[in-house]
Copies of this chain bind each other. A is one copy, B any other.
């Protein structure tokens, strides 16, 4: 089957989504088996709007730089395809002789890819469709992990490590710090904050809360107070989507009670920092790095980038084998050193399934992850955290009676 290939990037960008794009385009061009390689601007919206670009005409040297560039090089959107869209999409594909489609994206994109593949089959239009996984949330099923996650996890691990050391050294000024991490339903990214402990004092961050483990405000405050009593300071990592046992977003639930229904704007970390100040009388600050987590060029995981590239390459290879209706997966091989091979999963099985942190990765204390999770995530962030060192602090014997603080 001759024809052109169309690729699109969909959903939230990651630091390595362009490596997958480069993998698709470079493999497709190198194969010589496609007419032209088109890109749709702004995700599936670009197919509807017929805003296509000819990627075959790009300078080959640009792909090395594009791979190091955050954001989605083609632009992206969050359009959820509906029945109203499909006739138009098929018409656009037909008029441009597109018989191969790669969608780089998360759950919704895999759903769109599946529907397009089914629709084309029903209407008798020859279209092979392949999904390339991408999400910092790491919540796609049937794959060991998702390209994009390792780099975001590296950002979280390294910046959490650094900000924990900052907190430790300044604990007499501000003893409580709450860091809000992306993840509305799945706690994979927040959990990666535990990697910081490889090089922080006192096991900081001390408390890790994920949406999979509901928590009450009372329990949270108890946990913070206990950790403060033990260490003299507390660093908390928590997911933006952390919930109470009633399933309500914790930040929203807490402010609803306290603020006469006014919506607090700072997210859950701001609400909880305020509660710590108010109820525990401990100075607290919060940080919310938000999209910095998914766009940091300085903290890309090389493992992640290589896998993102490979996922794009494998999608083209599968299309050339006549395969359709699948998503590329990463399958971790058994053995002492980390290695993943690629595989395939059915798009209809992937679509609509949200993979949460399993019980085995969650400590029963409600505010931590297990060593099994650390073993899972460690190889994904690439090289170890940049080294740090601490003084031994050889105490000088006191020569005076203790100072009585006023």
A281 within 8 A of B: no
A291 within 8 A of B: yes
Contact with B along A41-70 (1 / 0, CB 8 A): 110010011111111011100101110111
Contact across chains for A390 and B292 when beta carbons are under 8 A apart = no
Contact across chains for B291 and A289 when beta carbons are under 8 A apart = no
Contact across chains for B169 and A71 when beta carbons are under 8 A apart = yes
Contact across chains for A388 and B162 when beta carbons are under 8 A apart = no
Within 8 A of B (CB), among A242-294: 259-260, 262, 264-267, 270-271, 273-274, 285-292, 294
Contact with B along A161-180 (1 / 0, CB 8 A): 11101111111110001000
- Binding site secondary structure of chain A: loop
A292 CA / B168 CA spacing, docked (Å): 14
With contact pairs A77-B173, A259-B262 given, residues A287 and B297 touching in the complex (Cβ less than 8 Å): no
A356 CA / B91 CA spacing, docked (Å): 60
With contact pairs A77-B173, A165-B70, A400-B92 given, residues A291 and B287 touching in the complex (Cβ less than 8 Å): yes
A224 CA / B55 CA spacing, docked (Å): 33
Within 8 A of B (CB), among A380-401: 386-396, 398-400
Which B residues lie within 8 Å of A59 (CB)?
392
Number of interface residues of A (CB under 8 A): 99
Contact across chains for B286 and A288 when beta carbons are under 8 A apart = yes
A78 within 8 A of B: yes
Which B residues lie within 8 Å of A292 (CB)?
159, 162-163, 287, 289
